[in-house]
Structure 1
C-alpha cells in the first residue's frame, strides 16, 4: 500500500482494501423502509446501503422513492447500486423478503426487543426501520421474526431514521466480520 501507514490511501489502494472486505463478506443484507418519507433520510439510507453491500431495499407504505430530487442530493447516485422496489403494503414487503430467504428483524423499541449487539444478525437478514414519527407499525412488528433496539445512554431517546439504519447495518456487518482474519490486501 503506502510507506507511511498514516497517509491517506490512494484510490487504487482503497479499491483493493474494499475488495478484500467484500471477499470476506458472505451474509446477505436487505432493508425494508416502512413509510420513511424524508427524502434526505432516504438518500442517506441508500448511500449507507451501497457502502455496506445491501442487496435490496423494499419501500413500504408511503415511503419516498430514491428518485425524488432531494433524495438524489444525499444519495449521490448510489440508488443505482442497490436494487429497490416501489412502495408496497408493508406485509407484502415482509413476504417478499422472506421469499428471498431473509430473516426479518425490526429495529424498534418494544417490550421484547433485544439490544442490537445481542441480536442474531447472522446469515441473510432483512432489517426494518419505520417512519420518522411513529417507527414500525404494529402489523409490521407482529410480522417480524424478531425485534432489536439500539441502546442509548445519552439524554435523547431516539435516533434519526437514517442514522438508525446505518447503525443497524453496520452492526450486522460487524457481527459477520467479528473474529475473521482478513487476508492481506497487498496479496491481490
Structure 2
C-alpha cells in the first residue's frame, strides 16, 4: 500500500518539511495584545522623540548657564558708576582699567581709592574689557563686585523697628527692569525707607545694571527676597504695618495720603500691568499720583520716588 510500505527503506510520503511538532503555545501568545501604543515622543527613533530630547537638552543647558551666571561676579561699567560705587563702599573685589585710556580725575580717584581699600587694580587691553562687559559703555573702567547677598524680609522689618522711626518699606511687584530696581533703591534710601523687598520670581535682581543705577546705595539699604510677596505683605500687616499700593485707578491721590506717618509698606507695580490682582487685594489702600491731563503714566521708579518724597514730607511735618 502506497505510503505504508514495510520494506526496508520505505518512507511515509508527506508534503510537510521537517519534524511535525505542535505550536507549544506560541500561537496563543502571539495572538495576545501588546498594550497601548506608546506616545510618539516615547518611541525610539521617532522624530517627535528627537524633538523632545532636543528640548530637554536645551532646557538643561539653560539651567546650567543660569547656575553659572548666579555664581559669577558682576561688573559695574563706566567711570561715574565705578567712582560712585567705590565711594559708597560697595564690596568690590577688582578694578579693571583699560590700557591706553585718557586719564581724568575720575580714573585717578578710582585707582587711588581702590588701592586704599585693598581692591586689586588690573590693567587689561581695551578689547578684553569690551568682552568682559559685553561691549557696554565702560569708558575704560569696570568694577568687579561679588554676587549680591539678599536679606530676609524679617531682617528688613527688624532694621526698621531698630531705627526708632515708624517703619517704611518699599515692595516691588513684578518690576523686571534692573534700571528701575536700582532707581527705586536709590529713591528709597534718599527718602528714609528702611529696606526694599522684591519677589523671588518674575522680578529684577541686583545685577551690575542695578548696582550702577542705584549708585552704590544697594550696599547701604537692605534688599530682601520674598518667596511669596502676597504672603509677606500679609505678615507685615500682622506686624502692624499698613500696605499702600500705587495704582492708576486708586482710592485716593498722594496728596491725600494720611497713612504716610504710620508704619507703612509702599507697593510698586510692574512697568506694564501694574499691581497683580492678589497684591492689590492685599493692600489696605491704593494711591495714584495727580498729573496734568493727557500725560502718560510715570514709570515704576519715578512713581515710587514721587510717593516716597510725599511720605518723607509728611513725616517731617508730623
Q: Into which bin does the TM-score normalised by the smaller protein fall?
A: 0.7 to 0.9
Measure, in 1, the Cα distance between the counterparts of 2:251 and 2:208: 35
Contact 1:58 1:93 in 2 (8 A): no
Shift of 1:127: 0.4
Cα distance change on mapping 1:77 and 1:99 into 2, 3 Å:
farther
Contact 1:102 1:124 in 2 (8 A): yes
What residue in structure 2 maps to residue 62 of structure 1?
Answer: 202
Number of residue pairs aligned between Structure 1 and Structure 2: 153
Shift of 1:154: 4.2
What residue in structure 2 maps to residue 165 of structure 1?
Answer: 304
- Secondary structure of the structure 1 residue equivalent to 2:205: coil
Cα distance change on mapping 1:56 and 1:101 into 2, 3 Å:
farther
Measure, in 1, the Cα distance between the counterparts of 2:195 and 2:176: 18
What residue in structure 1 maps to residue 223 of structure 2?
Answer: 84
Shift of 1:119: 1.6
Shift of 1:50: 1.2
- Which one has the largest radius of gyration? 2
What residue in structure 1 maps to residue 252 of structure 2?
Answer: 114
Measure, in 2, the Cα distance between the counterparts of 1:177 and 1:81: 22
Measure, in 1, the Cα distance between the counterparts of 2:243 and 2:198: 14
Unaligned ranges ≥5, structure 1: 1-24, 181-188
What is the alpha-carbon root mean square deviation over aligned residues? Answer: 1.7
Which TM-score applies when normalising by structure 2? 0.46
Shift of 1:97: 2.5
Measure, in 1, the Cα distance between the counterparts of 2:236 and 2:219: 20
What residue in structure 2 maps to residue 16 of structure 1?
Answer: none
Measure, in 2, the Cα distance between the counterparts of 1:92 and 1:81: 26
Measure, in 1, the Cα distance between the counterparts of 2:256 and 2:197: 25
Contact 2:175 2:269 in 1 (8 A): yes
Unaligned ranges ≥5, structure 2: 1-163
What residue in structure 1 maps to residue 35 of structure 2?
Answer: none
Measure, in 2, the Cα distance between the counterparts of 1:104 and 1:56: 14
What residue in structure 2 maps to residue 17 of structure 1?
Answer: none
Which TM-score applies when normalising by structure 1? 0.75
Measure, in 2, the Cα distance between the counterparts of 1:76 and 1:131: 22
Residue 184 of structure 2 is aligned to residue 30 of structure 1: no
Q: Deviations over 1:41-93 (max 9, x none)?
A: 00111111111221121102522122x11111111211121112124322123
Shift of 1:100: 4.1
